[in-house]
Amino acid sequence: MDEPFVTIDLHGLTQEEAKKRIDKALASAGSGTYQLRLIHGFNRGTRLKNMIYDWYDIEPKVKRIMPGDNQGITILVLRELY
């Protein structure tokens, strides 16, 4: 996967399922991938959002974590845009 911006829909997944899907995307992210846009939802997505911040804050491939354009989206920045 070498797309610059990858979107992953995590709606309806458990934390374990979501983590597996995110890990797979991180493992297959090429040098041209800048961001993983994780759609976890807002109403029931807070558990997934918290899991993302807890697990991926210390992931070496993730430069930083930032909120998306609404509360139901979190972005993992893998490379900075210059």
Domain regions of the chain by residue span: 5-77
pLDDT per position as a tens digit, 20-74: 999 999 999 998 999 999 999 887 658 999 999 999 999 999 999 999 999 999 9
CA distances from 32 to 4, 12, 27, 40 (A): 6, 29, 13, 24
pLDDT band for position 82 (50/70/90)? confident
Q: What is the pLDDT of residue 42?
A: 84
CATH classification number, 5-77, choose in 2.40.50.140, 3.40.50.300, 3.30.1370.110, 3.20.20.10: 3.30.1370.110
